[in-house]
Amino acid sequence: HDWLSVQVHPSAEACARLGHGTAKTEAWYVAHAEAGAVLLAGHYPGLDPATLRLAAQGGTLRKWLYELAPRPGDMLLVVAGTLHAVGPGFLLLEVQEPSDTTYRLYDWGRHGLDGQPRPLHVEEAVASLAYERAGPPRASRHEVAGPRFAMRIMHTGAETAPGPLRVWAADRGAVLESERGETPLRAGDVVVAETADGVVRVKSGACLLLSEV
């Protein structure tokens, strides 16, 4: 029920400059959004390292970030190097590259269980932001794709060929069919299709397909 920290994940180039970390691009599918729920993603033009550092230290970072109010069914691609923070009131499905590198730039003045402010990674975040890529991520209701994954909405009749990794996730109800028979999905269900399943088809409803690229 609180804001997540304002953070950034590095690109491969930023990791090389810093000498550590693993690149991470992620994507969000909005399963639920309460009335008035907003998130922050992307920065306004004119931001530079010195200004970013001062804004983080002075608690004025939010004014540099785009405020978005995505609807249920929207997908957002958060490319490595993008400042972002998710506000309360959302239920998101997050897909990401296999990396746990996160640089926390601002944490809303919170304290950890030890009573101390949670650690920040200001210099790493300043070095990881893609300053030249100003602007917010654009919402899609069809497909988003990162360097190593794709996420798309599949409706009744859509099908996918066998592949190394196919993960189906249901926001509502759906029925999949393959050579092994039918698989009913309820809201929140996730199914991994194996290569042996062959072609997988959406018999009814709609669901998300997450795949490697």
Q: Residues 6 or more apart from 122 whose CB is under 8 A from it?
A: 53, 56, 57, 105
The pLDDT of residue 69 is 99
What's the CA gap between 92 and 18, in Å, rounded? 30
For residue 6, the one-letter residue type is V
Cα dihedral 73, 138, 95, 151, rounded to 10, equals 70
Report the distance separating Cα 97 and Cα 78, nearest Å. Answer: 11
Domains of the chain: 6-141 (2.60.120.10), 148-212 (2.60.120.10)
pTM of the full structure: 0.94
Note whether 79 and 3 are within 8 A (CB): no
Question: Which of 62, 104, 138, 141 is an active site residue?
Answer: 104
Active site residue 104: yes
Tokens 């999905």 locate to 185
What does each of the 213 residues of the chain score in pLDDT, given as a tens digit? Answer: 799 999 999 999 999 999 999 999 999 999 999 999 999 999 999 999 999 999 999 999 999 999 999 999 999 999 999 999 999 999 999 999 999 999 999 999 998 889 999 999 999 999 999 999 999 999 999 999 999 999 999 999 999 998 878 999 998 899 999 988 999 999 999 999 988 889 999 999 999 999 988
Which residues, listed in sequence order, are joined to residue 96 by a DSSP beta bridge?
A: 26
Q: Where are the beta strands (DSSP E) in 58-128?
A: 65-68, 75-78, 84-86, 90-96, 103-106
* pLDDT score of 105: 97
